[in-house]
Amino acid sequence: MNWHQSEIEILSNKRGFILITDLILNQISEISKYKTGILHLFIKHTSASLTINENADPTVRSDMEAHFNNMVPENAPYYRHTLEGPDDMPAHLKSTIIGNTLSIPISDGQINIGIWQGIYLCEHRSQAHHRKIVATIYGELS
């Protein structure tokens, strides 16, 4: 079995659910060398997260953003962590709910996800941020 690890930096333009599948695939060409394996993605931040969801209809992304903003509102009266702005504590909560890792199967040199699935960077802060994702591949080379 073989390992490969790299780090990807992504500039998120604004808060929202950003489809990054192509960006990931373009920056990790080593995927094509693996017959079978796992691509593990880990985001190195506490106010952003990663998920897999619908990749075709952009209204899914805006609906996800609207739902999480409703479920985890800004300026809740019980928040104590408020020094970094009204979006910061909700960002930490959203990140905890959604998660900071993904494990994606690799089959015959490609990620093995469904036809309607895509990888999202979930940016929970209002300002643009540089986000770092560690990509680790473990598997059998072709």
The domain defined by 2-74+82-141 carries CATH number 2.60.120.460: yes
CA dihedral of residues 52, 54, 55, 61 (deg, nearest 10): -90
What is the DSSP pairing of strand 101-107 with strand 110-111? antiparallel
Strand partners, 42: 101, 134
Per-residue pLDDT of the chain (142 residues; tens, 9 = 90+): 999 999 999 998 889 999 999 999 999 999 999 999 999 999 999 999 999 999 999 999 999 999 999 999 999 999 999 999 999 999 999 999 999 999 999 999 999 999 999 999 999 999 999 999 999 999 999 9
Residues ≥6 apart with Cβ < 8 Å to 136: 3, 4, 5, 39, 40, 42
pTM: 0.96
| CA–CA gap between residue 18 and residue 109 (Å, rounded) | 24
Q: Where are the domains of the chain?
A: 2-74+82-141
